[in-house]
Structure 1
Amino acid sequence: MPKTQQPTILSYVKDLPNLLSLSGLACTLLAIYSSILGYYSIAMIGMVWAVAFDWADGLVARKLKGRTETDAKFGGQLDVLIDIVSYGVTPAILLLSYGHFEPIYLIGAFIMVAAAAIRLSYFSTYGLAGGTKYTGLALDNNSLILVFIFLFESFFTHEAFSIVLYISGVGLAILNVSEIKTPKLSGNPRNVYLLGAYTLVITAIYGLQLL
């Protein structure tokens, strides 16, 4: 039998779910860049849209016909790698930047990134508990919650909100690696609409702050 030719690396870029994943990565990069420069309103928009694209790639992948097992496996690996950047590295950089990169914030940042890496590795190994629920708080919740918390930044002094952000980030990291069971929100079409509405509202609020 002739040997099946292995597809090229870039051939997977043409897959629509992977394009959506990469769009989310672009939003994540925008969030990181903006956080470092202190443009937090733009960072919040980038973070929430990263979640929206992350949910969209899974939704499209489930509905798209003709995808092979290899396509699904590649997409899953790509998704996990992007998740560690979007939901681990990005919030950690946000914390570091808001704390003016003081050494004490490195501890919190490390906890956040380490928890994200452990959480994703555990999920890659065991999948959903009972086929329906995550073990530990799903990482996309980190961005959704932090974006919401940041709405109240103006009510605090910079120093006080630094503490709020630190506690929130580390608290979410603890929940990420806890044994709590949380539902797979992205699998419910109703929740997808809710995320869409949340994304648009958050974009509008932070967009107005840029005017």
Structure 2
Amino acid sequence: MSTRNSTLPQPSILSYIKDIPNLLSLAGLACTLLAIYYAILENYSISMIAMVWAVAFDWADGLVARKLKGRTSTDAKFGGQLDVLIDIVSYGVTPAIILLSYGKFEPLYLVGAFIMIAAAAVRLSYFSTYGLAGGTKYTGLALDNNSLILVFVFLLESFVSHDMFTIILYLSGVGLAVLNVSEIKTPKLSGNPRNVWLLGTYILTITLIYGSKLIF
């Protein structure tokens, strides 16, 4: 049996931290915290770098979990729950805070921020209930795409006025939220080794671009 023996004592909460995939998930959460912190400080370059690395750790925890032997069904269930809770912060709360910060926390931006967080919560709840459509595709745009797309959109910030980019950022965030809860079918990118290499290249490129902004 892959499940823990019911006669054994219930494991402690912190015992699951020793699980490598969970450590990777928490590393992603640490990146997410940095993204939020620097967004509030209006240092968006660091925030963007932290956002893409949060995606990297999110993909890594799943890849490692599938490779590890000896993990029980309880381990997998705990890891899945941890991953979902971190995802709502990484891909819902963080982009919403970036929008609020860029909009100087004006009340108008609360509407867009709520839509983004609510869509992420609904999207994750739907996925937790039904899983992959046909076992291979997501229903709605997967949430990790929110961060990958927004860090690219943010590159426009250097080329347009603050007011214009505020509109672009607002529409991008709300537009992604709509796609998150739509009925479109999108492939599970993290399961393909080729996509892992593409993600790694993208993350390093984004890191170099925004890192250069910090230097120069």
Normalised-by-shorter TM-score class? over 0.9
Q: Distance in 2 between matches of 1:181 and 1:201?
A: 28
* 1:3 shift after superposition: 2.8
Q: Is 1:17 paired with 2:24?
A: no
Q: Which residue of 2 aligns with 1:136?
A: 140
What SS does the corresponding residue of 2:186 show, helix, strand or coil?
Answer: strand
* 1:138 shift after superposition: 0.1
Q: Which residue of 1 aligns with 2:9?
A: 5
**Of 41, 45, 59, the match for 2:49:** 45
Q: Which residue of 2 aligns with 1:69?
A: 73
Between stretches 19-28 and 1-10, larger displacement belongs to: 1-10
In angstroms, what is the RMSD of aligned CA positions?
A: 1.0
Q: How does 1:20-35 map to 2 (within 5 A)?
A: 20-35=24-39
Distance 1:3 1:114, change over 3 A: same
TM-score, normalization: structure 2? 0.96
> Which residue identity lines up with residue 29 of structure 2 in the other structure?
L
Q: Which residue of 2 aligns with 1:186?
A: 190
Q: Distance in 1 between matches of 2:10 and 2:198?
A: 40
Distance 1:42 1:2, change over 3 A: closer
Q: Which residue of 1 aligns with 2:161?
A: 157
Structure 1: any 5+ residue segments left out of the alignment?
none
Distance 1:2 1:26, change over 3 A: closer
TM-score, normalization: structure 1? 0.99
* 1:4 shift after superposition: 1.2
* 1:2 shift after superposition: 8.6
**Of 175, 179, 188, the match for 1:175:** 179
Give deviations 1:60-113, integer Å, cap 9, x for gaps. 000111100000000000000000000000000000000000000000000000
Deviating 4+ runs (over 3 angstroms): none
Q: Distance in 2 between matches of 1:200 and 1:168?
A: 23
Distance 1:178 1:96, change over 3 A: same
What SS does the corresponding residue of 1:134 show, helix, strand or coil?
Answer: strand
Q: Distance in 1 between matches of 2:133 and 2:202?
A: 27
Give deviations 1:22-43, integer Å, cap 9, x for gaps. 0000000000000000000000
Q: How does 1:76-155 map to 2 (within 5 A)?
A: 76-155=80-159
Q: Distance in 2 between matches of 1:57 and 1:195?
A: 14
Q: Which residue of 2 aligns with 1:55?
A: 59
> Which residue identity lines up with residue 109 of structure 2 in the other structure?
Y
> Which residue identity lines up with residue 114 of structure 2 in the other structure?
F
Identity %: 81
Structure 2: any 5+ residue segments left out of the alignment?
none
Q: Distance in 1 between matches of 2:206 and 2:113?
A: 24
> Which residue identity lines up with residue 69 of structure 1 in the other structure?
S
What SS does the corresponding residue of 2:164 show, helix, strand or coil?
Answer: helix
